[in-house]
Amino acid sequence: MTQSILFKNRPIGKPKLSDFEFIKEDNDFNIKQDELLLETTYVSVDPYLRGRMNDAKSYIPPFELGKPISSGIIAKVMASKDEKFKVGDFVSGRLDWKTRQISKGDGLLKVDEEKAKLSAYLGVLGLTGLTAYLGLNEIGKPKQGETLVVSGAAGAVGSVVGQIGKILGLTVIGIAGTDEKIKMLTSEFGFDHAINYKTTKDMKAAIKTAAPNGVDVYFDNVGGPISDAVLFNINQFARLVICGAISVYNSTEIPHSVSVQPFLIKNSALMQGFIVSNYTEKFPEAINQLARWLQEGKLTYTETIVEGFENIPQAFLDLLEGKKKGKMLVEI
């Protein structure tokens, strides 16, 4: 039996388990020329999936009701009529939330279990690492000696951004939501300072204390009041990388923030939205560099791995609440 998870309801506000539907089917799986039969090994749950649940224009189409949800998946090739892949290979790509499925090979990448753990190809050596590396370098343009602030710092992207900042010789300040995560940022990931936004009353003052010379690069994963507080501390010619806005993904009203224009004008600062898929031509170079740093022990990563296909929706809901460290994955 093949299990699938379908998108049942468009959530308003926080998604619920009842927005997902499990089905079981008895499939024969006769593959045609150029097709593969895949068995799912790891499923990535990511904040951007929340955006795809809204029926709204974005950089990626919304999920269709009654159809399977899809995300980054590592799968094992069980049968192949595509000469690029053989039985036993592992591949990564955007696939459906199904235990088994037929796929054309397009858009799938072979991943090498010898070089890194399979799960890393959905994290530091996948879109997460690419987002961190390309967002920071292409828009943040970090220079040695500058100060970098990262929000969502204990998350999959943020933890890699901060470590790259340290490799490049910056002072790095991370913002996260539990004392355990704060400790992890300085002791495991080498951040210079970390601020708990849930227990700090005056974020503007806390950032000023941690960054007495001001903020040159802000890597924004969360938006909302945290980002407002950073704005008060930016330097002349600061670069603000707008990568994510997880604090407002479940908002049912248009969120209010401070007016950014005066801060940008008086500091001649740059604020730019970032979408990783706009930089595909730079993916090979970025992955090579990330893999090199990983091999050299300059880069490390943390994962939260939940077990069982039936737990994918709950893992996604927990992710949106920050109930995990580093990259969140489900192992099937």
Residues making contact with ligand NAP (CB under 6 A) = 46-48, 127-128, 131, 152, 154-158, 176-178, 181, 221-222, 226, 243-247, 274-276, 319, 322
Nearer to ligand NAP, 84 or 198 (CB): 198
For the bound state, the minimum distance from the C-beta of residue 72 to ligand NAP, rounded and expressed in Å, comes to 10
Nearer to ligand NAP, 14 or 81 (CB): 14
Q: Is 121 exposed, middle or buried, given 0-12, 13-18 or 19+ CB atoms closer than 10 A?
A: buried
Q: Which residues contact 133 (CB under 8 A, 6 or more apart)?
A: 160, 164, 286, 289, 290
DSSP-derived letter for residue 155 is B
CB 179 within 8 A of CB 293: no
CB 74 within 8 A of CB 113: no
Residue 155's closest CA among 174, 179, 136, 173? 174
For the bound state, the minimum distance from the C-beta of residue 107 to ligand NAP, rounded and expressed in Å, comes to 17
For the bound state, the minimum distance from the C-beta of residue 47 to ligand NAP, rounded and expressed in Å, comes to 4
For the bound state, the minimum distance from the C-beta of residue 144 to ligand NAP, rounded and expressed in Å, comes to 25
Nearer to ligand NAP, 236 or 278 (CB): 278
- Written as one letter, the residue type at 93 is G
Nearer to ligand NAP, 5 or 176 (CB): 176
Three-state secondary structure call for residue 233:
coil
**Residue 103 CB: number of other CB atoms within 10 A?**
21
Sign (positive or negative) of CA dihedral 228, 229, 235, 238: negative
C-alpha 91/C-alpha 86 separation (Å) is: 10
Nearer to ligand NAP, 147 or 221 (CB): 221
C-alpha 117/C-alpha 329 separation (Å) is: 13
Q: List the end-to-end C-alpha distance of the chain, in Å, as a whole number.
A: 14
For the bound state, the minimum distance from the C-beta of residue 265 to ligand NAP, rounded and expressed in Å, comes to 25
Sign (positive or negative) of CA dihedral 60, 290, 111, 117: negative
Q: Which residues contact 210 (CB under 8 A, 6 or more apart)?
A: 173, 192, 193, 195
For the bound state, the minimum distance from the C-beta of residue 320 to ligand NAP, rounded and expressed in Å, comes to 7
For the bound state, the minimum distance from the C-beta of residue 89 to ligand NAP, rounded and expressed in Å, comes to 26
- Written as one letter, the residue type at 37 is L
Nearer to ligand NAP, 215 or 276 (CB): 276
Nearer to ligand NAP, 71 or 80 (CB): 71
